[in-house]
Structure 1
């Protein structure tokens, strides 16, 4: 597989109000250019279009939005399709309203399977073309394909991905104190207790995220549900095959509570247990840099937060300033199970140029182009892990591509919005601030939609 990637200066950012989305970050408009300096071999299969335009909306902002736009620059040049991207933090709240009013973008990059299901139920989505489905069958696992499928109809291929459940730590601290990477949940508990016995608080955590405050806590619960009870029970939980207040869910909450609700375990470098709710998730792990805490639970994307002032003073590597290991299985030698997230480009307009863009975004060519620009990963099996921009991202790609890895999508993203993006988030806040496990689980259970 040849990877052709030509970088160039971004074209001028333009205002694009056609979809009505509130613009908060990057808008990219890739127009027709001369293709003489671009090798178009990889793009011949998509055809050529004279004057075609495709609009894309999503939640991807700032530098990542710039890189997204750059990832289809050569495709646009070679096919003649002008692509305009609009990133907004209001995308998830607005997209259903825009779709109902027939004012949605041609393509929406949806970050939650639950939202994709809602849009499909509204009758607003265009099923994916055969070319998109062929790519998914070739480059993605059946688990990933099902997240873009509703009632037997395939609507969207996966795009990027993230692995959740990493435990960030300082390699220097571990070496100095003779700490070993735990191989089971019991060993993780022993490690935490060993650190706490020195008078330090081993864990640091933060749930604050504006209107989404609480979501980092849901990641903890999801990781423990998968490891303690396995993928089958996890699937039953996220689909309400078992109630939210099932004893197995309570067990996961109480296991997490041994860290997050324990004043001896958190919140190192920040304060008491109550500060978890007010500490921003972006800064919650930084006390590791000052030796004020030792462990922080957060996804692969947290790599970008270790240098909050820019630059590269703090390195992410096995022998660097910080590194990470996956939350271990319940028992040593148990199966590798991970939770994660991703996005799905759904279509609101039925047109050949729209499906050409979606076919490209589902291809191994796009995955290698985008990951090579830095900062992200994909579970696309045609992706070369060596193009990743860091050792951690390379490792994450290899984990996702390993056929022995059990992957499950972030549970709150699979649940109905009234639960996954509302009562579950709020329940984590109530739980940390004093409510019992049973109270919180009963409240969340009562919020589950009846139809």
Structure 2
């Protein structure tokens, strides 16, 4: 689903701290030290990325090679990382590093005993340069296994500035104001929202933002861990709030049926394509990449965002996702793999992809000037400023059978709810039944 080498480390001391090396005194240096200490070695990296994401990550790997001499080989796994990596381990061909896109998968790998704990150098860098929440999501049983290299900001509502200007509305501050603005946009000739309901994961993101703001972070954490049942009144309340949007034909382009026949890229097209049908589309920061790359929109001029607004008197939510680098015990070159991970933990590595675009880093030390435009800088600042109030995508924390499988679990049940939002309590009961089965399994 889905992520400048200059001015980044302001002193030799910072470089030495970030890389665990005596970079200024002429002694031995580890990853990123520039002495080609890993020449002749190859690090194999597996991840879900393909297309432009894979090309941009390769630039980061090439920078690692330039500094250390280690060659790299990237293997695209497709969406089912767990199955592909498991089969490679069983076949004696485990990669050294895996970029894991879901907390649930990271936990699964750790529980199977596949992962090496992060090195002291990596742990030191993460402790100094990242908000503690990222350490929490990279840890299992108190042991830190994962470094979050690429983040997603999933609390952004993207809009056509021209459509909102034509309707005479400004970006709203509350959820109720957003729906009111949506009706005004609709009165001006466009639907308010394009909803990509054919992809069930977009609906989980809608629910998570509403739930985090309306119910609060403690209940969000409890529901994510299934320590709170989906039949809890807070879930019913969030579904009721979401249902009011889903059943309002003025607000949803094509109505419920149209939304169920619209995938995520098409939802972006309905706002930013050649024949606009809606003024706004809710999804993560990656909307900008689609709007720019596929429809030629200038980000900040033809496409912009406002933060997902506060719901029902709560705090505005910040839901995130991300890809964590982990090192496999069974990799043929796990030691060099750990050096790669130490490099990925530095702002220098993050800057390579930030400059290329389509990327956010949770690293607080990354110079905002590394990002290519003001809108991306604003999105990144929002993510960093949220600190420990960031909450990881709830469905990504769940077992895949519940939170990450097409046509099953939460994805299917929220599609059913989009089709008929008349019974939030009944939907909550079905969600609890599916969750209980998946978490037991």
Give me the TM-score of the superposition, normalised by structure 2: 0.85
Whole-angstrom distance in 2 between the partners of 1:408 and 1:440: 24
Q: How many angstroms does 1:228 deviate by?
A: 0.6
Distance 1:127-1:326 versus aligned 2 partners, 3 A rule = same
Q: How many angstroms does 1:403 deviate by?
A: 5.3
Does residue 257 in structure 1 map to residue 209 in structure 2?
no
Matching residue within 314, 323, 343 for 2:304: 323
2:325 maps to 345
1:8 maps to none
Does residue 303 in structure 1 map to residue 288 in structure 2?
yes
SS of equivalent residue, structure 2 residue 318: strand
Distance 1:71-1:416 versus aligned 2 partners, 3 A rule = same
SS of equivalent residue, structure 1 residue 187: helix
Does residue 201 in structure 1 map to residue 225 in structure 2?
no
1:272 maps to 255
SS of equivalent residue, structure 1 residue 251: helix
Q: How many angstroms does 1:75 deviate by?
A: 2.1
2:203 maps to 217
Moved more, 90-99 or 115-124: 90-99
Where structure 2 has 5 or more consecutive residues not aligned to the other structure, the ranges are 9-28
Q: 8 Å contact 2:132–2:388 — kept in the other structure?
A: no
Residue deviations 1:91-126 (CA, integer Å, cap 9, x gap): 424223333444321111000010000111111111
Matching residue within 2, 6, 18 for 1:3: 6
1:86 maps to 75
SS of equivalent residue, structure 2 residue 433: helix
Q: CA RMSD in A?
A: 2.4
Q: 8 Å contact 2:166–2:188 — kept in the other structure?
A: no
Q: 8 Å contact 2:40–2:69 — kept in the other structure?
A: yes
Whole-angstrom distance in 2 between the partners of 1:297 and 1:140: 27
Distance 1:352-1:199 versus aligned 2 partners, 3 A rule = closer
Matching residue within 48, 67, 74 for 2:63: 74
Map residues 359-398 of structure 1 onto 2, 5 A cutoff: 359-398=342-381
Matching residue within 263, 268, 273 for 1:285: 268
Distance 1:46-1:434 versus aligned 2 partners, 3 A rule = farther
Q: 8 Å contact 1:149–1:155 — kept in the other structure?
A: yes
Map residues 146-161 of structure 1 onto 2, 5 A cutoff: 146-161=136-151
SS of equivalent residue, structure 2 residue 223: helix
1:188 maps to 178
Matched positions, count: 405
Does residue 62 in structure 1 map to residue 51 in structure 2?
yes
Residue deviations 1:368-422 (CA, integer Å, cap 9, x gap): 1221122211111111112112222111111122156721111100112221113
SS of equivalent residue, structure 1 residue 108: strand
Whole-angstrom distance in 2 between the partners of 1:337 and 1:215: 18
Whole-angstrom distance in 1 between the partners of 2:30 and 2:46: 28
Q: 8 Å contact 2:308–2:316 — kept in the other structure?
A: no
Whole-angstrom distance in 1 between the partners of 2:325 and 2:31: 21
Matching residue within 221, 224, 234 for 1:248: 234
Distance 1:399-1:90 versus aligned 2 partners, 3 A rule = closer
Distance 1:275-1:403 versus aligned 2 partners, 3 A rule = closer
Q: 8 Å contact 1:100–1:124 — kept in the other structure?
A: no
Matching residue within 403, 426, 429 for 1:439: 426
Does residue 176 in structure 1 map to residue 166 in structure 2?
yes
Where structure 1 has 5 or more consecutive residues not aligned to the other structure, the ranges are 6-39
Residue deviations 1:233-265 (CA, integer Å, cap 9, x gap): 110110112101211111111211211232232
Map residues 28-43 of structure 1 onto 2, 5 A cutoff: 43=32
Q: How many angstroms does 1:131 deviate by?
A: 1.1
Give me the TM-score of the superposition, normalised by structure 1: 0.84
Residue deviations 1:259-316 (CA, integer Å, cap 9, x gap): 123223212xxx2311212212111132224442122111100111124646x3x212
Between 1 and 2, higher relative CO (CA 8 Å, sep ≥ 6) is seen in 2
Whole-angstrom distance in 1 between the partners of 2:398 and 2:79: 20
1:294 maps to 279
Map residues 383-422 of structure 1 onto 2, 5 A cutoff: 383-402=366-385, 406-422=389-405
Does residue 358 in structure 1 map to residue 341 in structure 2?
yes
1:112 maps to 102
Map residues 127-142 of structure 1 onto 2, 5 A cutoff: 127-142=117-132
Q: 8 Å contact 1:335–1:405 — kept in the other structure?
A: no
Q: 8 Å contact 1:52–1:353 — kept in the other structure?
A: yes
Does residue 145 in structure 1 map to residue 120 in structure 2?
no
Q: 8 Å contact 1:203–1:295 — kept in the other structure?
A: yes
Q: 8 Å contact 1:170–1:288 — kept in the other structure?
A: yes
